[in-house]
Amino acid sequence: MSETTVTMEKIVSLAKRRGFVFQSSEIYGGLSGAWDYGPQGIELKNRIARFWWKEMTQMHDNIVGLDAAILMHPRVWEASGHVENFTDPLVDCKKCKGRFRADQIPPENLAEKKCPDCGGELTDTRKFNLMFKTNLGPVEDESGLVYLRPETAQGIYVNFKNVQQSNRMKIPFGIAQIGKAFRNEIVTKNFIFRTCEFEQMEMQFFVKPGTDEDWFEYWRAERWSYYKKMGVNMKKLRWHRHGADELAHYAKDAYDIEYEFPMGFKELEGVHNRTDYDLSRHQQYSGKDLQYIDQDSGNERYIPYIIETSAGLTRQLLMLLCDSYEEQKISDKGNEDDWRTVLHFHPILAPITVAVLPLMKKDGLAELAQNIRIELKDDFVTDYDQAGAIGRRYRRQDEIGTPFCITIDYQTKEDNSVTVRDRDSMLQERVSRANLTSYIQQKIKSYNTASI
Ligand code: ATP
């Protein structure tokens, strides 16, 4: 891949232009911290979710799924520590009214109480809880107080016994979940990197105490290889181990996988050894016995340790947009057609897998193309485009990362063959109509990101 400078401006612009991500309530001026996913965005999001789900559940015999409610009993968040600890340190500028996370401004500004933007005076640091509150029932008082969950994990912990017993799970086993989470983030910037409403993909793996360190290493390796399978440029990933000052109150050990976004290396996913903290706390707060009875070791009872892998779905989507983005010089005519912008998504993740394009609308080519599209629909997400020059149509598909463009031309009428254009190499191959589905399926299976 040639060197392209990827900036957030370019990604935001492409995302809007090509229907990936729109500002929430844009016609009203937008709402900070919330974004809408357009036709290409939702396809991509669904595919990432599906890829993760398969990787975690289908490929691991001892992991099952769950979809817990967003609204939970408020005691959950007392037990989890969120009511007390899920806070960010907040400072305001009295002059420009800027608002900052105290841990994200230069220490000297904090010490001198000087605004990093305008030099005005900063307020004292105060704790700000990130959980959104709302009310269950018609009366708006504390009795109906509920929170929008700030993470999906707690839904898994409180269902530990339900899942274990209903599915006769034996330790070690895991529960996977994908869902929305909400955090009243003080600073939401960098597009969809940090938003107030987002989606998480979390897996909680329950293990016998004493085996936790081995399982922690196992999950670190698994999560690393996940990104390799996704086709991510592995040079842009790195591990960051939490130092003692960063470790959450419940964690024994924690690593983040960081990706080099346009604004630098930032967290993509966390792998945490959460010890027996979560289930112990829920046992204490609920009064219910959450011990596991280990029939394989003489009915020994213990509170399992938890290894957590916690990834952001929407953050992965941003990562993929950045990682797959390339501006490529493809000719030397001295005009705008010399360049194409292309998203090199792995075909498994691309929003649209196959675009069907008749070379001309006339002479029955459009009808023929429509019929070929119908043959492909059951197996692939397809798009159909007959408007404008074929080169422009290829460009549009390149910009949304469609790996295969099928062109129907006059030869198709004669011998029932079509051309299949490969997005990355731009090479075209003639394939017979009868073999199209298996040809594309084979290409997807053998897709090799090293060749990009
Ligand atoms: P930070 O310290 O950056 O606020 P965190 O370390 O608390 O985040 P976790 O609670 O570990 O984040 O969340 C797990 C994952 O969920 C993150 O790795 C990230 O991918 C995603 N995530 C967390 N907060 C947000 C957010 N506000 N917007 C989008 N994704 C998020």
Smallest CA separation from ligand 1 atom 22, residue: 312
Do β-strands 35-37 and 145-148 pair in parallel, antiparallel, or remain unpaired?
unpaired
195 alpha carbon to ligand 1 midpoint, in Å? Answer: 9
Residue 1 has pLDDT above 60, yes or no: no
Determine which of 305-319, 327-341, 422-436 has the lowest per-residue pLDDT on average. 327-341
Percent of all residues in the chain with a pLDDT value above 90, rounded to a whole number? 88
Distance CA 428, CA 70 (A): 48
Residue 411 has pLDDT above 90, yes or no: yes
* Mean pLDDT score, 206-228: 97
User: How confident is the model over 228-287, as pLDDT tens digits?
Assistant: 999 999 999 999 999 988 888 888 999 999 999 999 999 999 999 999 999 999 999 999
User: How confident is the model over 412-427, as pLDDT tens digits?
Assistant: 999 999 999 999 999 9
What is the structure's pLDDT at 170? 97
User: How confident is the model over 126-148, as pLDDT tens digits?
Assistant: 999 999 999 998 877 778 999 99
Ligand 1 closest atom vs CA 269? 18
Which amino acid, 118? C
- For ligand 1, whether the C-beta of 304 sits within 6 Å is no
What is the structure's pLDDT at 207? 98
What is the structure's pLDDT at 208? 97
What is the structure's pLDDT at 103? 87
Distance CA 303, CA 71 (A): 26
Whether the pTM exceeds 0.85: the reply is yes
What is the structure's pLDDT at 418? 98
Residue 308 has pLDDT above 60, yes or no: yes
- For ligand 1, whether the C-beta of 195 sits within 6 Å is yes
Helices 313-324 and 39-53: angle between axes, nearest 10 degrees: 110
CA distances from 267 to 40, 148, 229, 238 (A): 24, 23, 19, 9
- For ligand 1, whether the C-beta of 183 sits within 6 Å is yes
What is the structure's pLDDT at 2? 53
User: How confident is the model over 80-104, as pLDDT tens digits?
Assistant: 999 999 999 999 999 999 888 898 8
Region 330-451: CATH code: 3.40.50.800
What is the structure's pLDDT at 138? 82
Smallest CA separation from ligand 1 atom 16, residue: 312
- For ligand 1, whether the C-beta of 200 sits within 6 Å is yes
- For ligand 1, whether the C-beta of 350 sits within 6 Å is no
What is the structure's pLDDT at 337? 83
What is the structure's pLDDT at 62? 97
Burial of residue 58 (number of CB atoms within 10 Å: 0-12, 13-18, 19+)? exposed
312 alpha carbon to ligand 1 midpoint, in Å? Answer: 7
Residue 449 has pLDDT above 80, yes or no: no
Please choose from 272, 315, 317, 318 the residue to mutate so as to test ligand 1's pocket, defined by most ligand atoms within 8 A of CB.
315
Please choose from 192, 200, 319 the residue to mutate so as to test ligand 1's pocket, defined by most ligand atoms within 8 A of CB.
200
CATH of the structural domain 8-85+133-320, one choice from 3.30.930.10, 3.40.640.10, 3.40.50.300, 2.60.120.560: 3.30.930.10
Structure tokens at 44: 């991509």
Smallest CA separation from ligand 1 atom 23, residue: 312
392 alpha carbon to ligand 1 midpoint, in Å? Answer: 39
Rounded to 5°, angle at Cα 241 from 236 and 247: 135
Kindly list the domain boundaries of the chain, sorted by start residue. 8-85+133-320, 87-129, 330-451
Q: What are phi and psi of 244, to 5 degrees?
A: -55, -35
Q: In terms of DSSP H, where are the helices of 174-274?
A: 212-229
- For ligand 1, whether the C-beta of 310 sits within 6 Å is yes
Residue 188 has pLDDT above 90, yes or no: no
85 alpha carbon to ligand 1 midpoint, in Å? Answer: 15
Instruction: Tell me if 8-85+133-320 shares its fold with 330-451.
Output: no
Smallest CA separation from ligand 1 atom 24, residue: 194
Distance CA 311, CA 404 (A): 29
Q: What are phi and psi of 330, to 5 degrees?
A: -120, -5
Residue 354 has pLDDT above 70, yes or no: yes
What is the structure's pLDDT at 452? 64
- For ligand 1, whether the C-beta of 344 sits within 6 Å is no
180 alpha carbon to ligand 1 midpoint, in Å? Answer: 12
Residue 451 has pLDDT above 90, yes or no: no
Ligand 1 closest atom vs CA 200? 16
- For ligand 1, whether the C-beta of 308 sits within 6 Å is no
User: How confident is the model over 29-41, as pLDDT tens digits?
Assistant: 999 899 999 999 9
- For ligand 1, whether the C-beta of 309 sits within 6 Å is no
2 alpha carbon to ligand 1 midpoint, in Å? Answer: 31
- For ligand 1, whether the C-beta of 314 sits within 6 Å is yes
User: How confident is the model over 26-72, as pLDDT tens digits?
Assistant: 999 999 899 999 999 999 999 999 999 999 999 999 999 999 999 99
130 alpha carbon to ligand 1 midpoint, in Å? Answer: 12
